Structure 1
């Protein structure tokens, strides 16, 4: 009955308000074996010290900038 109250006869009538992040402001990078945030930063920014920006952009999945794993997908912000 809640579905009818919200405005539809069946669940397909309800539309989700989902916003997709603007991918023009970042890249996605899949970590390869042996990579570090510093190496990834050097590749994208030509400056290994910018690893901090990558770490901050991925703070939801990374707790330590020295610990990343192969096949993790990281967000690389455009600077």
Structure 2
């Protein structure tokens, strides 16, 4: 029963291609573990868990590791995006675009010129 309650979390884990995933239900507690590619993906999973179970859910225990701790995430630029829009998405603050620009000076010469399909590093702050 608790597994069906958190099915959206399990589906999200599949979408994010969580590695070494394991799901077990024991005495009414769902135990999940796996490895997310980046901290951002781990945060998305935790946000979904809290959305369903509340701030401190007692019916789920999650052990989610992060494979690449050198970056917060890697982002592929979509048409119509800007560094400030990307910064707002990941950090909640469009002015943090400078951190993204600085982390990608090997690819970017001007913070106002990004192109679709470029892969940008979203740095840990």
The answer to whether the superposition gives a TM-score over 0.5 is: yes
Gaps of 5+ in 1: 1-21
Flag the structure with larger Rg: 1
Q: Does 1:49 align with 2:95?
A: yes
2:68 is aligned, of 23, 42, 46, to 23
Instruction: Tell me whether 1:75 sits opposite 2:100 in the alignment.
Output: no
TM-score normalized with structure 2 length: 0.45
Higher strand share: 2
Structure 1 position 66 matched with structure 2 position 112: yes
- TM-score, length-normalised on structure 1? 0.70
- How many residue pairs align between the two structures? 58
Whole-Å separation in 2 of the counterparts to 1:78 and 1:42: 14
Specify which structure has the bigger relative contact order, considering alpha-carbon pairs within 8 angstroms and separated by 6 or more residues. 1
CA RMSD of aligned residues (A): 1.2
Instruction: Indicate the residue corresponding to 1:36 in structure 2.
Output: 82
